[in-house]
Structure 1
Amino acid sequence: MKATIYIILILVAQPIFAQTNIQGMVKDQRGETIPGVNIFLKGTYEGVSSEIDGSYILETTLTGEYTVIFQAMGYKSFEKDVLLEGKPITLSVTLREAINEMTAVTISAGAMEASDEKKAVVLKPIDIVTVPSAMGDIIGAFQTLPGTANVGNDGRLFVRGGDASETAIFIDGMKVGNAFGTTASNVPTRTRFNPNLFKGSFFSTGGYSAEYGQALSSALALNSVDIPARSQGDISILSVGGGFAQTLTGERNSITASANYFDLSPYQKLINQNFDWERSPYGWDTEISAKQKWGISGIIKAYVHTEASGMKIWSKQPGSEERGQLVGIGNQYTFAQGSFKQLGKNDWSYYGGISFSNNVDNFDIAANEIQNQNRLLHGKTVAIKSFSDKFSLKTGMETYILRYSEELISENLKREITDYQYNLFTEADYYLSNKLVFRGGLRSGHSSLANQTWLNPRFSLAYKFANEGQVSLAAGTFNQMPLEELRIINQALQNTQSEHLILNYFINKNGRTLRAEAFYKGYKNLVTFEGQRFNYSKIEQAGEGFAQGFDFFYRDQKSFKNTDFWITYSFVDSKRQFAMFTEMVQPSFAPRQNASIVVKHFVGKLKSQIGTSFSINDGYTYHDPNFPGQMNAKTRSFQDLSLSWSYLPKPNMIIHMACSNVLGRENVFGHQFSGQTNENGRYESSPIGMQATRFLFLGVFITLSKDKTANQLNNL
């Protein structure tokens, strides 16, 4: 009887202790075997690793339904349900390469990041305010980057042979109208916004995303700080004015309010000026910025900036001993926007907002009072869907409402235009592997004033090498409506157009960055006219042109202790028929060769950072009516050596001093000619130079906080 029971127990237990062998091969998409793959049964400790030849054998005494998981670094996990019942199982799998955000190739053609959030960083936010020649101006820092031209008597951003109007500026994705202060001819301007507002930027010199439009040459996207680190007050005492900002922060929200005032009169009484000021530039601004976290993964931002400024200057005419013509300028400006970002379910994300710009210029020229008003309303909504780690799609829509008016107050004459623009855009990123990515996009638009509809295709392709370097190719079509001051006279004007083709090599490794880029840009439908502002005639779109060349950028933060430096060189061959020119000419704002060197060295014992920057180009073309041809003359090279010193005497105090053009070089940007010839039959001229040979800036920045250790660098 006992023997019978033992036999029955053995027969019943046999299936329980039966062994199942799972075996096979693991390969990648190219058919190559993968060693070291972790293969295990989900929820158990049963597992093995694949051999050098990709084979594996997983032995188990478990029975029932289980899931076999295959995992390897750089590949997507693979799962397969199996039934373990003591019978051999053959399971060979092919693992697909996973797209790793930290190691995957990125599109770098035409693109330069300036953010702590991206791996392909060229400049960080703190670099923007510490470049010696920038004098704290955002655009001044970007003028040391490849593809830009330093036009010292203007101050705006000129990119690859393009006029300053060809660059569009965005804050948190929303278009900024009239981003630069209004100024007189040959008096440099600055951006209106404090660099401390921003955590980073995306500067594209061409071939940029289908999300951005109405810019023939460049897009500069500035991203504001989210929730500041702490509550603090910031006092700024400057050689040209001063200001105060107060920040209050909570766990999920913050608000910052600031006020600033500047007046160059005291400074310019101490420093000799080449310009004859009746009233030196002055102005004030106030702004409020509020942030609120929204749900688990969203944020809402609101920002309002308002300012007023003015100046009066005597414009001397060549060949005359008189003071010339008195030009008065008054400007009032307001920019307001609200924006949001939100991560949704199922790999959806959303962002967008609305912005409003209102710029009013009052000109007093030869007893004529002229008022211009430019208003821009921009609304945008964007949705992004990640269908997998390889494929994502961005789709958005936006609307622009533009109103522009000109009024001759003394004669009670006024004219105005309104344009409604509607845009749709879509863009897809597809990673063929960690080393190869393709981006394709379309942007459509319609203008009610021009009665024109357009479609712009754009694409980019990037491949990453084993040494972490990568090559990118970008191409596309870009449209931009002519300036409002021309459209108000000829309302039939349609889009100007440019075609971009860019080839880029980029590598960022071990604290060193190398970027080299070749480009071609073709122009169509450029506007030509006769006369000058407030007196245009014969406005047509018969112009064309091109810009071609290459850029080089090298940055090194490792070779020398406590030293950071970068070198930039750009060559631009640009010619165009535009404005009053009847033939293809090299524009005055497009020097053929531009170069800059920026060096910053930290001296720990002195608690100081010492910086120097040197900019040079081969000179500016100009038109000399004493000789045949157009744009037939050229100035000598522009050169500027600037120095800066930042000192931290206390944790909450920063003293910053900078001086531009320390060598006192008399830079000339062109010549102004008289309207009539003299007794010798020649047109007399006077050089267009700098208002002061050097500019000295001194600032003391004091931060008030509970721990008394915070300073204004915390926001950078």
Structure 2
Amino acid sequence: MNPRQLLFITFLLLQTQAFAQTSLHGQVLDERGMPLPGANVQIKGSYDGATSEQDGSFQFETSATGSQVLVFKFLGFKTQELSISLDTNSLQIPLVKLIEEITEMNSVTITAGAMEASDEKKSVVLRPLDIVTTSGAMGDIVGALQTLPGTSTVGNDGRLFVRGGDASEVGIYIDGLRVGNAYGSTTANVPTRTRFNPNIFKGTFFSTGGYSAEYGQALSSALSLNTKDHSLRTQGDLSIMSVGGGYSQTLANDNQSISLTANYFDLKPYQKLVKQDFDWERAPYGWDVELSAQQKLKKGGLVKVLARTEAGGMQLWQAQPGEDGRGMFVNLHNKYSYAQSNWRNSYENGWSLFGGLSVSSNKDDLIIDSIPLERKNLLSHAKFTAIKDFSDRISMKVGTEYFIHNYSEKLQLEKQERSFEEGETYLFTEWDWYLSKKLVLRGGLRAGNSQLAKQTWVDPRISLAYQISEFGQVSLATGQYHQLPIENFRVIDPSIGNSKSKHLILNYQYQKDGITFRAETFYKSYEDLITFKGNTNNPSQLQNAGSGYARGLDVFLRDRNSIKNTDYWISYSFVDSKRIYNQYETKVQPDFAPKHNFSLVVKHFIPTLKSQLGTTYSFNDGYKYTDPNQSGEMNSKTKSYQSLSLSWSYLPKPNLIIHFAVQNVFGRENIFGYSYASKPNEQGVFESLPTGQPAPRFLFLGIFLTLSKDKTANNLNNL
């Protein structure tokens, strides 16, 4: 063979090797072993690849050789890589199973006992805007929440009552930090409201039971309010109202914002125009100043500061059954301050950290029938939380918090004082396991220790949710909850211990195209409730001897889609609750727990009139009370509570809002119970007086003007 022939044969062999092809074939499945048609299979760094067929199989050829990486991609699943060696003409790829990628938007969420008001979560029941536009709520957060299932309207109180529990069983938090004395101070049978302006919050998480291990010291419910991360723009907001006025100035740039708000209210001019049923000596009045600031940090962190101080008071005569004259004179003056700061940051390694500190200070100066009384309450709360996302399947939350609680009562003339100081330590952990995007399991533990009660306890909690259809899911939650007694009991006997409740909740929720439907059944047991001899004004022999239960059904429907420009929701709750508590010796239905509760809220926007019309109708079947002229406890019941409220919001200009509202339009005389004389009269009858409303109806007119370079900005833009 001559050199020319040898060169030709060598060149031919090289060409054959250069164009040699390797055939790859295999199959792509999901975690359950079902085929994934349309999955992309490709050799990394090349254009060689294929798309899987209907049965998940794929096949393609490549000229690549040696060690390579095969990449598998499919929308909604985690990308997977497989190392291969291309040293044969045909390569069978091992069976490949892709894992679903779980995100907040495609995963099921736990809804048992949980209702959110947010613009950020997919499972919200209300939006922040709903809080201030609900007719009858008068801008009060709790007033809006009272239209949700699981709550009861107690018109002579104003606080939040949940599923057969009293208002003290609801824990209120701002940015995860406990708020002491969250409601304004008031006297007996004069309704109160929450202290904080709803405009500072971006979202609300309201649990009617079965709530997270992060929260404690609440037998029934947790209400968590989350402040805004950052204000949108620099602007001023002026409020002129029938009961007072205020001004807020916000300064903002890309990295920080600060808002300073001042308000003053005085119902004296209003009460001169509108007839009152209460005998006021001095109508309620007060002022407040609030500071809210946010600062973004260089590495993605955020620091928030919230501070508020306020003062106010009222004077009135409270008629006494069986007595002539104006009755008992009550003079109340209150000073309150709240301050908190918190920091949070998220890191690339999956850790998120949170730290915060809050202080609540409340002082009430009371004169009751010429007897001066001083009450002081100081609550300090420090909290640290760490969250670790190990993957999109497993997340862990751990934390610790410490409370310092100081409370005192002083009779000024007698110079008698009683007080207590308490330190409480808590540890908690909670784990979320996403077994698939349709099934999530959450387990938690919360441990607590009270120095004063000398008690240590552990509360297990567990919940799960399963998506049963494209738009429907079921959730189950159960757990144990402890709560130390309220201050006026602990100051009498500081060593008295916890009360305990256990929750079991089953929930179904359906959400599609602006329609939300919820149905929830629950059972709640009570143990170690506080009982005493005497009455609530002078209790004695306090002990943890009470028990009880609450069970029932909640139904909620919200529709923002079916009727043009109309948004409405309907709530119904049935609560069967009985307990031995306070001075009662038998199991009774509490006076704050009506069996049937119904609410209808409607909002309709009329574009041509630049107006939103709203109405709220509330109903319950009445309140139980004890008539000493009859035998037994809680032996009587008031007539049903009914209230129809109307509102009109008019936007003549984008930066100007005029709002008018009427509460209890028809002036229905709602009775919440009766007070009785301590002794019978000459005929042997205990005389009584009804406990009713301050006035047949309440009227409100407000003008809200926003001053900003952006002429379309208004108060609603803050929500």
- TM-score relative to the length of structure 1: 0.99
Q: What residue number does 2:215 align with?
A: 212
Equivalent residue runs for 1:517-596 within 5 Å = 517-533=520-536, 535-596=538-599
C-alpha deviation, 1:14, in angstroms: 3.2
Whether the aligned pair in 2 keeps the contact of 1:642 and 1:661 (CA below 8 Å) is yes
- In the alignment, is residue 45 of structure 1 matched against residue 47 of structure 2? yes
Distance 1:86 1:6, change over 3 A: farther
3-state SS of paired residue (2:339): strand
3-state SS of paired residue (2:717): helix
In 2: Cα distance, 1:652 partner to 1:531 partner: 57
Q: How many residues are aligned here?
A: 716
Q: What residue number does 1:183 align with?
A: 186
- TM-score relative to the length of structure 2: 0.98
C-alpha deviation, 1:424, in angstroms: 0.5
Q: What residue number does 1:291 align with?
A: 294
In 2: Cα distance, 1:231 partner to 1:45 partner: 52
Equivalent residue runs for 1:16-415 within 5 Å = 16-91=18-93, 92-415=95-418
C-alpha deviation, 1:285, in angstroms: 0.4
C-alpha deviation, 1:11, in angstroms: 2.1
3-state SS of paired residue (1:9): helix
Q: 1:425 is aligned with what amino acid?
A: F
Range with greater deviation from structure 2 (60-69 or 569-578): 60-69
Whether the aligned pair in 1 keeps the contact of 2:536 and 2:582 (CA below 8 Å) is no
1:446 aligns with one of 446, 449, 454: 449
Q: What residue number does 1:600 align with?
A: 603
| CA deviation map 1:57-111 (0-9, x unaligned) | 1211122332111111232221111222343221121222221321211100000
Whether the aligned pair in 2 keeps the contact of 1:564 and 1:601 (CA below 8 Å) is yes
C-alpha deviation, 1:2, in angstroms: 3.0
C-alpha deviation, 1:533, in angstroms: 4.8
| CA deviation map 1:415-436 (0-9, x unaligned) | 2211111110000000111111
1:698 aligns with one of 683, 687, 701: 701
| CA deviation map 1:425-477 (0-9, x unaligned) | 00000011111110000000100000100000000011002232000000000
Whether the aligned pair in 1 keeps the contact of 2:250 and 2:258 (CA below 8 Å) is yes
C-alpha deviation, 1:20, in angstroms: 1.1
Q: 1:186 is aligned with what amino acid?
A: N
1:501 aligns with one of 491, 499, 504: 504
| CA deviation map 1:643-701 (0-9, x unaligned) | 00000011111000110110111100001111221221101111111010000011000
Whether the aligned pair in 2 keeps the contact of 1:74 and 1:100 (CA below 8 Å) is no
- In the alignment, is residue 622 of structure 1 matched against residue 618 of structure 2? no
Q: What residue number does 1:672 align with?
A: 675
Q: Tell me, which stretches of 5 or more residues in structure 1 are unaligned? A: none
Q: What residue number does 2:440 align with?
A: 437
3-state SS of paired residue (1:605): helix
2:476 aligns with one of 473, 476, 483: 473
C-alpha deviation, 1:155, in angstroms: 0.4
- In the alignment, is residue 709 of structure 1 matched against residue 689 of structure 2? no
The 4+ residue runs of structure 1 with deviation greater than 4 A are: none
Q: What residue number does 2:8 align with?
A: 6
Give me the CA root mean square deviation.
1.1
In 1: Cα distance, 2:69 partner to 2:641 partner: 71
Range with greater deviation from structure 2 (562-571 or 8-17): 8-17
Range with greater deviation from structure 2 (538-547 or 47-56): 47-56
C-alpha deviation, 1:26, in angstroms: 1.6
Q: 1:477 is aligned with what amino acid?
A: Q
Q: 1:441 is aligned with what amino acid?
A: G
In 2: Cα distance, 1:28 partner to 1:559 partner: 38
In 2: Cα distance, 1:519 partner to 1:452 partner: 29
Q: 1:324 is aligned with what amino acid?
A: G
C-alpha deviation, 1:243, in angstroms: 0.3
C-alpha deviation, 1:350, in angstroms: 1.2
3-state SS of paired residue (1:14): helix
C-alpha deviation, 1:22, in angstroms: 1.5
In 2: Cα distance, 1:688 partner to 1:468 partner: 46
Q: What residue number does 1:660 align with?
A: 663
3-state SS of paired residue (2:711): coil
C-alpha deviation, 1:30, in angstroms: 2.2
3-state SS of paired residue (1:62): coil
In 2: Cα distance, 1:145 partner to 1:3 partner: 93
In 1: Cα distance, 2:667 partner to 2:710 partner: 43
In 1: Cα distance, 2:409 partner to 2:536 partner: 12
In 1: Cα distance, 2:31 partner to 2:345 partner: 35
3-state SS of paired residue (1:546): strand
3-state SS of paired residue (1:82): strand
In 2: Cα distance, 1:580 partner to 1:180 partner: 25
Whether the aligned pair in 2 keeps the contact of 1:659 and 1:696 (CA below 8 Å) is yes
Q: 1:630 is aligned with what amino acid?
A: E
3-state SS of paired residue (2:608): coil
Q: 1:705 is aligned with what amino acid?
A: S
Q: 2:42 is aligned with what amino acid?
A: F
In 2: Cα distance, 1:407 partner to 1:368 partner: 11
